[in-house]
Structure 1
Amino acid sequence: MNDERPFRIRAGAILDPGDPPVERATLTVEAGRLVAVEREGEGDPRLPLVDLSDHLLLPGFVNAHCHLSLSVLENRVSRQERFTGWVRDLLAENERISFAERVEAFRRGADTLTNSGVTLLGDYVSHPELFPEYSTLPFRSVLFLETLGFRGEVCREVCERVRGLLMDHGSKGDRFRLGIAPHAPYSVSPGLFRELKEMADRFNAPFSCHVAEFPEEVRFLREGGGELETFLRERGVFDPAWNPPQTTPVRYLDGLGVLKGMAAVHLNHIEGDLDVLVQQGAGAVFCPGSTRWFGRSPIIPVRALLDRGVPVALGTDSLASNESLNFLRELKLAEAMLTDVSRVEILQMATRFGAQVLGPSPDAGTLALGAPADVVGFRVESRPAYWKDVPFESGRERADFVMVGGRVAVGERPRAE
Structure 2
Amino acid sequence: MNTHSDLRIQFSALIPMTGSVMENGDLVIRDGLIHAIETRKAQPQESTVIDLSDHLLLPGFINAHCHLSLSCLKGKVPKTERFTDWVRALLKISADIPFMEKLAGIRAGAQEMLSSGVTTLADYISQAELFPEYAELPLRKILFLETLGFNANRVQYVCKEVEAILDSHASHRNAIFQFGLAPHAPYSVSPYLFKALKSLAQQRKLPFSCHVAEFPEEIRFLREGGGEMEAFLIERGVFDENWNPPETGVLQYLDSLDVLQDLVAVHLNHIESSDLELMQQHHTGAVFCPGSTQWFDRKKNLPLRKILNMGITAGLGTDSLASNESLNFLRELKIAEMLIPEISRMEWLEMATRGGAKILESTAGIIRPGAPADLIGFHLSSKPTRYEDIPFDKSRQHVDFSMIAGQQI
User: TM-score, normalised on structure 1?
Assistant: 0.95
Unaligned runs of 5+ in 2: none
Instruction: Please list, as runs of the form range in 1=range in 2, the aligned pairs for 1:300-311 lying within 5 A after superposition.
Output: 300-311=302-313
1:179 to 2:180 alignment:
yes
The C-alpha deviation readout for 1:175-207, integer Å capped at 9, x for no partner, is 311100000000000000000000000000000
Give the structure 2 partner of residue 79 of structure 1: 79
Name the SS of the counterpart of 1:351 in structure 2: helix
Give the aligned residue type for 1:251.
Q
Give the structure 2 partner of residue 413 of structure 1: none
Q: Distance in 2 between matches of 1:288 and 1:244?
A: 30
Instruction: Please list, as runs of the form range in 1=range in 2, the aligned pairs for 1:118-129 lying within 5 A after superposition.
Output: 118-129=118-129
Instruction: Please tell me whether the aligned partners of residues 12 and 53 of structure 1 are also in contact (alpha carbons under 8 angstroms).
Output: yes
> Which one of 360, 363, 379 corresponds to residue 362 of structure 2?
360
Give the structure 2 partner of residue 106 of structure 1: 106
Q: Distance in 2 between matches of 1:148 and 1:275?
A: 28
Give the structure 1 partner of residue 377 of structure 2: 377
Comparing 17-26 with 88-97, greater Cα deviation is found at 17-26
> Which one of 322, 344, 347 corresponds to residue 346 of structure 2?
344
The C-alpha deviation readout for 1:28-69, integer Å capped at 9, x for no partner, is 000000001013445635311000011100000000000000
Q: Distance in 2 between matches of 1:246 and 1:47?
A: 63
Instruction: Please tell me whether the aligned partners of residues 63 and 118 of structure 2 are also in contact (alpha carbons under 8 angstroms).
Output: yes
Q: Distance in 1 between matches of 2:66 and 2:175?
A: 19
Q: Distance in 2 between matches of 1:61 and 1:53?
A: 21
Give the structure 1 partner of residue 223 of structure 2: 222
Q: CA deviation at 1:338?
A: 1.4
Aligned residue pairs total 404
Q: CA deviation at 1:116?
A: 0.6
Instruction: Please tell me whether the aligned partners of residues 71 and 102 of structure 1 are also in contact (alpha carbons under 8 angstroms).
Output: yes
Give the structure 1 partner of residue 150 of structure 2: 150
1:297 to 2:299 alignment:
yes
Give the structure 2 partner of residue 163 of structure 1: 163
Unaligned runs of 5+ in 1: 410-417
Instruction: Please list, as runs of the form range in 1=range in 2, the aligned pairs for 1:122-137 lying within 5 A after superposition.
Output: 122-137=122-137
1:91 to 2:87 alignment:
no
Name the SS of the counterpart of 1:48 in structure 2: strand
Q: Distance in 2 between matches of 1:116 and 1:160?
A: 38
Q: Quote the RMSD (CA, aligned, Å).
A: 1.1
Give the aligned residue type for 1:228.
M
Instruction: Please list, as runs of the form range in 1=range in 2, the aligned pairs for 1:11-50 lying within 5 A after superposition.
Output: 11-17=11-17, 19-42=19-42, 44-50=44-50
Give the aligned residue type for 1:283.
G
Give the aligned residue type for 1:193.
F
Name the SS of the counterpart of 1:273 in structure 2: helix
The C-alpha deviation readout for 1:234-275, integer Å capped at 9, x for no partner, is 000000000000001111001000110000000011112100
Over 3 Å counting, the alpha-carbon distance change for 1:42 and 1:156 in structure 2 is farther
Instruction: Please tell me whether the aligned partners of residues 28 and 43 of structure 1 are also in contact (alpha carbons under 8 angstroms).
Output: no
Name the SS of the counterpart of 1:131 in structure 2: helix
Give the aligned residue type for 1:292.
Q
Q: Distance in 2 between matches of 1:249 and 1:383?
A: 47
Instruction: Please tell me whether the aligned partners of residues 18 and 348 of structure 1 are also in contact (alpha carbons under 8 angstroms).
Output: no
User: TM-score, normalised on structure 2?
Assistant: 0.97
Give the structure 2 partner of residue 277 of structure 1: 279
Q: CA deviation at 1:312?
A: 0.5
The C-alpha deviation readout for 1:62-86, integer Å capped at 9, x for no partner, is 0000000000000000110000000
Instruction: Please tell me whether the aligned partners of residues 5 and 47 of structure 2 are also in contact (alpha carbons under 8 angstroms).
Output: no
Give the structure 1 partner of residue 289 of structure 2: 287
Identity of aligned residues (%): 52
Q: CA deviation at 1:309?
A: 1.0
Q: Distance in 2 between matches of 1:351 and 1:42?
A: 31
Q: Distance in 2 between matches of 1:70 and 1:97?
A: 10
Give the aligned residue type for 2:180.
G
The C-alpha deviation readout for 1:275-321, integer Å capped at 9, x for no partner, is 00010111010000001111112101111111111111000000000
The C-alpha deviation readout for 1:145-199, integer Å capped at 9, x for no partner, is 0000000111111100101122233461113111000000000000000000000
